Amino acid sequence: MTSARPPGAPVKPAAKRTRGGLIALVRRSLQARVMLTVIAVSGVALAALGIALTEQVRSGIFNARVTDVLGEASRLAVTAQELFDASTVGSPITAETLARDTIASISSVGSSATAVSLLPPDDAGPGAISAIFTDSQLLGAASPQLRQAARDGGEQVWQSIALPAAAGQATRPGVAVAQVVTLLATPYVLVMVYDLSPEQATMSLIAGFLAIAAVAVVLIVVLVTWLVTHQAVRPVRQAAQVAAKLADGALGERIPVRGHDEMATLAASFNEMAAAMQRHIGQLEDLSKLQRRFVSDVSHELRTPLATIRMAGDLIHAARDRFPPDVARSAELLANQLDRFDALLADLLEISRFDAGAAQLDIERVDLRALVGWELDAVAPLAADNGVVVTSEMPERPALAEVDSRRISRIVRNLVVNAIEHAADKVLVQMAVSDQAVAVVVADNGLGLSEDQVERVFDRFWRADPARARTTGGTGLGLAIALEDTNLHGGRLDAWGRPGVGAVFRLAVPRTAGGDVGPPPAELGPVPAVQGVAR
């Protein structure tokens, strides 16, 4: 079943969703964090090592090739100078012929030079020969600075150059070597160009091999790390799974114990702890069952003698006018205490039904506005006796909900009676309705509740002020029963209080039986209309 995206809701890009999933995986998995760390560290280390090795190899190959090139160029220059010195030329024409033959000879026999050029000086006179070169494309390979440096120093000089390539291809690395030779007492620059493409291909091959080796090493490291971390994390993961099952109530779950290493010792210790916990929980459950059964049995057993005592008490109370004043007063006290005792037994029986899981809902669709109104009318005499003004704020729209009206009435009655007992002079009952839920808020301006008291206010037999006079015979079970009734409906019952300001209780129940309350339609906090405080 697919769920429709709300109109206007932003759609996360796939890259962000993937990144979020990876981040969540790394946060949840120790093994993933270890593997990611190993990959990062080994990748950085291998990259640094590969760069250093590549540079070292590149430098070694380049330096060795440059040394060979300089040696060969020096020999070629010496050969050319010897040929020039051994010949007898008397005119520029014969000199140019000799130069061309010499350049052709040294570039074809025992030479690895790509091109050889013989360049005249910039200030050459009419009798100087013109430039001679074997490859016109490489005529400008040697920069003017290189040629000038050779003329100025009179020694061999060289520089790295980029050789032109065919269309659509990258340039090739090369080296240009320049040296001065003399012909007819005129200094010429002999330039030899060498192609270093084979060396570059060798370096590319070595770099590719190093990259493949680095990837292989990373994969091997990742595999080894996965195996090691899997062996270390698997017992921990099993322990976490067993602990989760124990938390869900499967107290018989245990961790398999394999071997005799530290993990096996940990598993054995965990199993011993789980067994001890299972025994103690079993003992507590048995004791709790005995306590619940005792309360239920005592409550039921007391109903019969209480009924007899009540009949006798009612007869005495009815005839109190014929008794002396002190006896008549005792008859009234007896009737009041019997009422409290009867209420206590009724509450205990109701609590025992909740504990036994026997409480059931009698669902009907009702308008909670009318239900709350009936309860307010019922407590009006109590409010008048306590000097408390009870006001209500009801919504205009119907507050229809599928609830057990008897239990909801009991919750509202408990909340309103408690508010009247604790209020200084005001109680406000508000109702709010949403599409999902109905909320009832009861606020008073009494002594209020501290944070610790708010946390315990729904505990059984707990009272905020045990020493306070009990004007209506409270048992300390009313709010506990109200919470159980609320839970049966799948609702929420929350409390808020502040000492010296008052207390606020909020009941929220779903409008549909078995539905979800969602965000309650009424806020939980101070109510200025009653308590005179700012929100």
Average pLDDT over residues 468-476: 52
Ranges of H-type helices in 458-520: 478-488
Confidence of residue 469 (pLDDT cuts 50, 70, 90): very low
Average pLDDT over residues 313-333: 79
Confidence of residue 18 (pLDDT cuts 50, 70, 90): low
User: Where in the chain are the domains?
Assistant: 19-250, 263-354, 360-465+476-531
Distance in angstroms (rounded) separating the CA atoms of residues 213 and 420:
83
In percent, the amount of the chain with pLDDT more than 70 equals 84
pLDDT score recorded for residue 505:
94
Distance in angstroms (rounded) separating the CA atoms of residues 503 and 505:
7
Distance in angstroms (rounded) separating the CA atoms of residues 379 and 413:
8
Fold of 360-465+476-531: Heat Shock Protein 90 (3.30.565)
Distance in angstroms (rounded) separating the CA atoms of residues 118 and 180:
9
Among the CATH numbers 3.20.20.80, 3.30.450.20, 3.40.718.10, 1.20.120.80, which is that of 19-250?
3.30.450.20
Q: Could you read off the pLDDT of 428-448 as tens digits, one per residue?
A: 999 999 989 999 999 999 888
pLDDT score recorded for residue 475:
64
What is the 3-state secondary structure of 351-388? HHHHHHCCCCCCCEEEEHHHHHHHHHHHCHHHHHHCCC
pLDDT score recorded for residue 6:
45
**Helix 405-422 with 478-488: angle, nearest 10 deg:** 150
Among the CATH numbers 2.60.120.560, 3.40.630.30, 3.90.550.10, 1.10.287.130, which is that of 263-354?
1.10.287.130
Confidence of residue 19 (pLDDT cuts 50, 70, 90): low
